[in-house]
Amino acid sequence: MNPYFVLVTVSVSDWSRIDIDAFIKVLGKGQGFITAAGAWIIKTTSAVDVWFRRFETLLPDDSQIFIVKIDLKERQGLLPKAAWDWIDREAPPPVSLSSLLGSFNPPKKES
């Protein structure tokens, strides 16, 4: 399976009730992750339900968690440079056809 990206958002009333080391260990089960805008973007080959099960056991009952597969090809936002550097490295923007063709000029048809 090709790697893709999931966005994980978590709402917890008291983060001191969370085993942060275990939480970071779960994040590390992907092929890389970055904290961005109060959430985490994880590069992975694991299904969303697998990620849910990994985090679910770490969270208090009154927590909220949302995990969704995302496409990083179209993206905009205000993030630290380190976050953009990671995103650009792990999910380079698609190359446009015009940039691939560059100054290509097809041969002219002879009449």
Secondary structure letter of residue 28 according to DSSP: T
pLDDT given for residue 100 in this prediction: 60
Q: What is the pTM of this model?
A: 0.78
Using an 8 Å Cβ cutoff, are 26 and 55 in contact? yes
**β-strand partners of 47:** none
C-alpha–C-alpha distance, residues 6 and 48, integer Å: 7
Q: 64: pLDDT confidence band, cut at 50, 70 and 90? A: very high
pLDDT given for residue 97 in this prediction: 63
Which tens digits make up the pLDDT trace of 1-39?
789 999 999 999 999 999 999 999 999 999 999 998 789
What mean pLDDT do residues 32-47 have? 92
Percent of the chain with pLDDT strictly greater than 70: 86
Which domains are assigned to the chain? 4-95 (3.30.70.240)
